[in-house]
Every structure is written in C-alpha cells, then in structure tokens.
C-alpha cells in the first residue's frame, strides 16, 4: 500500500492539483498539511468523488491537517496530546486494520519556529518534546506506525542546497535537529534514508529567487517509521514533478510503499 505526505499550502488553491495527483498516484492514505481551512469549508466533495474518505483537523486561515484514505479509519485522534491549551491544528492520527494488523498513520505539521529568540521557537521545541513523548507511547503498542508530515526540520547539511544560508533559521538549528534525532533514537527511522543516501533530494523549494529553477531546495517533509513499519517498507519516492505544475505548492509529496 502507498502512504503519502504533502504540505498542500492551502487546499482551496491547490484542489485541482491535488485531485489530479490523487488520480495519477492513487495513494491508499494521503496525509495533508497546511490545509488552511476550517473543517466545514474543506472541499471534500471533489476528493470523495475519487473514492476517498476524508478526515480533517482544520483551523481558519492557518495550519490544519487532513487524512485522505481509500478505507475509512477505525479511529481518529485530533490534536497532539500533552497540552490542552494548544489551539493550533497541527496533528491528526488514524488507525486502519489491514491484513497485517493495525496500521497507525499521523499527519503532522510541526511549527516553523521563526524568528529565533521568540516564543515561536520556544513553541516549536516544546511541541517537538510533546511529539517525542507521544511517539514513545506509540512504540509501546508494537504496531506499524508512520509519522508523516512537514517537520520543518532540515536533518543534515546534505538535505539542503546551501547550508550556510540556513544557519540562522529555526529549521536548521542544533536544537531542532537534535529533537528530530531523538525520535530516531527512540526507534523510528527516516524512511527515505533507509532507501537512498543521495544528496540533493529535496521536498521544498521557495517561491522566491528562482529556487525551483536553480534546485535550491531543502528536505523537510519526512516519513518516520516504527520498527514494525520499517520491516514492511518496500520503497520511497518523491513526486518532484508536481512542483512544476500550475499553481503548485512549494512542497511536493513524499510517498512510501509499505506491505499491507
């Protein structure tokens, strides 16, 4: 089965591109981030017409995540546990039953954290700490777990075209990268790096300064797999071509094939 993650950067502006991609790629589960839509305003009809079930955790004008799936999930959790005062819609988690048992998939839109030295960076790190605690609990279930999404973290210098340009950015700080490594140390693995150690593999190109044309990109969209999901992994790819489509998101989908 195919599990994908895509920061769509505004579902209403990208609905045509999304439906085209869904028809071409036909993922079993697609995790969307930054839908920028309240639940009631999400254009679900166009997606449901393609045979997908839609679950959203939206927010007016900002953030927002969604799960699109061929099969309706058995259960859905909205919001990252650990802080009931957090009103930002950045996490949704679903559970599906497959021939190999439970499959748990989360769509994550991790905070950007810029500018440094502000409450935004502190919120980013606190959010990552909560994610780590929740992820540790998920591992105890010994299930196939996929934590998919826009992590807003560049893991290593080889994951950015020009590392020097990002030294003062929250996405490339030692604290951000260290928090991501702690998820790996728990037992999760970066799906792409299980299959490909090449340089210049990116998932985001800014709209400014000809970044796409110059391949001046970064890799910040990740699929983190539990040990049980790692065993079931068959392949990982990045659908880079959609960045050249009309009205593109500045991110592109990353997609993994996992044994059902």
Q: State the Cα–Cα distance between residues 8 and 82, nearest whole angstrom.
A: 26
150 in active site: yes
In Å, what is the CA distance from 239 to each residue of 25, 167, 251, 252? 9, 27, 10, 6
Contact of 63 with 88, CB cutoff 8 Å: yes
Cα 221 from chain centroid? Answer: 5
Spatial CA neighbour of 59 closest among 29, 88, 102: 88
Spatial CA neighbour of 33 closest among 223, 183, 211: 223
The β-bridge partners of 236 are 256
CB atoms within 10 A of CB 25: 16
Options 52, 91, 109, 151, the catalytic residue: 109
Q: Using only C-alpha atoms, what is the Rg of the chain? A: 17
Which phi and psi angles does 234 have, rounded to 5°? -115, -40
Contact of 207 with 198, CB cutoff 8 Å: no
Q: Which two tokens stand for residue 97?
A: 């039953």
The pairing of beta strand 221-225 with beta strand 189-190? antiparallel
Residue located via tokens 């959010």: 127
Options 28, 52, 91, 150, the catalytic residue: 150
109 in active site: yes
Which phi and psi angles does 158 have, rounded to 5°? -70, -5
Annotated catalytic residues are: 109, 150
């Amino acid at each position: 089965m195919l599990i994908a993650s895509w920061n769509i950067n505004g579902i209403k502006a990208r609905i045509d591109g999304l439906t085209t991609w869904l028809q071409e790629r036909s993922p079993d589960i697609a995790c969307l981030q930054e839908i920028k839509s309240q639940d009631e305003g999400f254009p679900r009809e166009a997606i449901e017409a393609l045979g997908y079930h839609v679950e959203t955790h939206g927010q007016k004008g900002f953030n927002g995540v969604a799960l699109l799936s061929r099969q309706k999930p058995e259960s859905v959790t909205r919001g990252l546990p650990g802080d009931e005062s957090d009103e930002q819609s950045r996490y949704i988690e679903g559970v599906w039953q497959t021939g190999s048992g439970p499959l748990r998939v989360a769509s994550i839109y991790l905070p950007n954290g810029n500018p440094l030295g502000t409450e935004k960076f502190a919120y980013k790190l606190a959010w990552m700490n909560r994610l780590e605690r929740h992820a540790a609990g998920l591992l105890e279930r010994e299930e196939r777990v996929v934590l998919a999404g826009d992590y807003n973290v560049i893991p290593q210098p080889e994951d950015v075209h020009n590392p020097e340009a990002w030294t003062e950015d929250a996405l490339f700080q030692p604290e951000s990268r260290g928090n991501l490594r702690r998820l790996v140390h728990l037992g999760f693995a970066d799906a792409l790096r299980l299959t490909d150690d090449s340089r210049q593999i990116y998932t985001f190109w800014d709209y400014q300064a000809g970044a796409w044309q110059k391949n001046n990109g970064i890799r910040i969209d990740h699929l983190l797999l539990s040990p049980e999901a790692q065993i079931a992994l068959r392949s990982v790819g990045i659908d880079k071509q959609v960045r050249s489509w009309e009205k593109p998101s500045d991110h592109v989908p990353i997609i993994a094939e996992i044994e059902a």
